[in-house]
Amino acid sequence: MIKEGTFLEERQQTLNTKTGKKRNWKKIIWITLGIMLLLLIGIIFYANEYINKSLPQLEGEIDLPGLEQEATVVTDDSGVPHITASNDHDVYMAQGYVQAQNRMFQMEMSRRQASGTLSEVVGEKAVDQDKYFRTLGLRRAAEASYDMYSDESKAVLQAFADGVNAYIEDATEEGSLPVEFTLMGIEPAEWTVVDSLTIGKYMAFDLGGHWERQAFNYYALNRFPEDKAMELFPDYPDNKPAIIGDGEMDIAGSFDEAVIPNDFNGSNNWAVSGEKTENGSPLLANDPHLGLATPSIWVQMVLETDDMKVDGVIFAGIPGIILGHNEQIAWGVTNVGPDVQQLYVEKRNPDNADEFLFEDEWEEADVIDEPIKVKDGETIDYQVTETRHGPIVSEFAEESGEDEVLSLRWTALDPTTELEAILEIDRASDWDEFEQGLEKFLAPAQNFVFASKDGTIAYKANGRIPIYDDGEDALLPLEGWKEETEWDDFIPFDELPRVVNPDKGFIATANNKITGDDYPYHISNVWAQPYRYERIAEVLESGDNLTADDMQDLQMDTTDLQAEEFLPQFLDVLEDASLNDREENALERLGEWDFSDDKEDAEPLIFRRWYEEIQAVIYGDDIPESMMDLFSAEGQTTDQLLRAALDGEQSVWIEEAGGLEDVLDKSLTKTLDQLADEFGDDMNDWAWGDYHQVQFEHPLSGIHPVLEYFFNNKDPLPVDGSSVTPMAASYSEDGLVDHGASWRFVTDTDDLDTGYHIVGPGQFGHFRSDWYDDQVDDWVEGDYHTTRFEMEEGETLKLKP
């Protein structure tokens, strides 16, 4: 028999063993969890250190071989670097180094996009875009432009490139390149002077011309009856103000892969005479309207040498300051939008695909090899064909199989010297010197507005603009085989539109029509809708004792003059229409609206969406989506059709859509149904800002939610304004604001030591920087930072030879 004590002892021993094992397992689990936690902490710590390692160095010293003397970089509390050097070489070399520290990934992607080499790092999905930019030949044009530059300007370009390359070498050796390079598995190649010039050519592309509208007009004439097609042709309303008073081809298929700049790319600027200001000195304001993204398209910088002080902005990858002020003058630009792009229909030799007809003879075109390297793919043997007019842009295969193709003549593809102009105007001290510098600024054509300490305000529509015998010639592609259609010359520099110290006391531009009918040369057929300019002129004309604060308020003005013009007439048309309760309620609210596109109000949401639906009803299924992309300035055309119908004139488009009352009624019903689905049935809960929001998106944020979390730090913010208000905020179909005031600038010439700026979303490209997106709220609310030449304090970096 087993003794009871022995049994109990053995049982207890078994229990102790099991308990011990449980404790051991718990101990193992806790140890494992501890190790995993330590590993996780280590990984986070390493990742954090790795990411922070690529933050720009703002203090201490950096050896910069190639400098002649020491240079100083003081970064102020808004992230604006103030670069001081004793000579030009050093200040531009330092500018290259500092830009690269802050924006190297952006610079890398910019030169690749403009050069057509994105496929090397992105892969197959970028091939079509690369083909298009290889076809345009922005880099070929930049290479040709280099030879036109003076030795002094070439030296500036090289000094800037040397600064960029010094950063690339340091960051590569230290493993401190921005994390975006690691994510894409690439390293930046050597920076060249042609890279900077190519980025400059890309900005000319972004502000280009109207070839796409020519293609659309050509399509319309071949698609619709002549009277219906002609209603779509652009025209500027006779009673609206100017700046200076007074066939067979499948076009849609041809341009499927064309990259078309955003139709909204434009700007506001104005200068006010001291006769209308509080302190008796001129004021100047400028807000260029371009794409809104992270990082900003602009870099604000202050450059100082023994004989120059200039503050303003420049595109990342380019030396100098293109917009801003020095100690004597200030200047800003808007896009002229002239007809500087001309499509030509070419007749191809059926027996030789490289020959095209001109004056009854076959001319051989240039065939340029442009091999396209593709990441994780084979190199594409791509060729570009250039006729006497320019590259063939209507085909993206080696043989089109057609006898007729389209080529593009464009001033920006000629050799041009914009950087030379920038370097000269940075140092100009008065209007005469400034205008002299403008003679070298050829593309893109820009409205330059100027103010100076001596009291002068001035304006010039500057750039190389071709002379057309008849402005109607610029509406359609021209016959490339006839000598009579060739561009013979350009508007002489001394005859470009210009005004100095006008009697009305101000000059303003907003991409609207420049001249009256008495001007002897054709500029353009396509202009921005006049509402921004009208509102700016209204405020400036009625204002006295104006201040810099008033100019900031005007840049943030949300008055919607399009709604003010059309809405009362819409209400009259629908007065006797059969409407449901929701429609009656909406029209009652709109009738009491103050025409301000305020983010808190429902009325701008209703009107702006209604206007968009009106366009959809008018054009309906007649114009395919592929052609709508080429229908630039469609708002200008829609306004024309509506004005004609409201004046009792016949409009084929509106009549075929059921007549004006039916168009307005039908589009209102659809609009309100859509808004109810999106925001609920109660109109009191609707707000413009629930739809109209801004988020400055990083180009890599769409790859993965984790990257979106890091690179797009801020959620979309409700924002005032629209595409027709001075507070410019154009948006995509989902309501996200993607184009607008990329930089806001105001200065008072009484104190040209000071400028007031907003650079949305911020100055730096590194998402861990305090200045990465610190100006997003400022952009929404209109809170400007002050930049002064004479700084009191900041983070100081010494660059040593």
Integer Cα distance of 667 and 570 in angstroms: 12
Three-state SS letters, 126-149 = HHHHHHHHHHHCHHHHHHHHHCCC
Residues in the chain, pLDDT under 70 = 1-50, 208-209, 236-264, 395-404, 703-704, 713
Q: In this structure, are residues 671 and 613 in contact, taking their beta carbons and an 8 Å threshold?
A: yes
For residue 57, give the DSSP letter. Answer: P
pLDDT of residue 396: 45
pLDDT of residue 258: 62
Q: Which H or E run includes 19? A: helix 4-53
Instruction: Give how far the C-alpha of residue 119 lies from the chain's centroid of Cα atoms, to the nearest Å.
Output: 22
Please write the tens of the pLDDT for every residue from 36-94.
555 544 444 445 565 788 899 999 999 999 999 999 999 999 999 999 999 999 999 99
578 Cβ contact list (under 8 Å, min separation 6): none
pLDDT of residue 7: 53
Integer Cα distance of 285 and 288 in angstroms: 10
For residue 617, give the DSSP letter. Answer: H
Among 1.10.132.20, 3.40.50.300, 1.25.10.10, 1.10.1400.10, name the CATH number for the domain at 561-595+602-686: 1.10.1400.10
pLDDT of residue 26: 61
Q: How many CA atoms within 13 Å lie on the side-chain side of 214?
A: 26
Main-chain dihedrals φ then ψ at residue 189, nearest 5 degrees: -80, 175
Q: In this structure, are residues 530 and 693 in contact, taking their beta carbons and an 8 Å threshold?
A: no
Q: In this structure, are residues 516 and 381 in contact, taking their beta carbons and an 8 Å threshold?
A: no
Integer Cα distance of 267 and 509 in angstroms: 8
| pTM, to two decimals | 0.91
Integer Cα distance of 685 and 679 in angstroms: 7
Q: Specify the 3-state DSSP secondary structure of 308.
A: strand
**Joined tokens for residue 479:** 């016959």
pLDDT of residue 628: 85
For residue 483, give the DSSP letter. Answer: G
- Which residue from 767, 785, 765, 788 is spatially nearest to 775, judged by alpha carbons? 785
- Which residue from 412, 74, 130 is spatially nearest to 258, judged by alpha carbons? 130
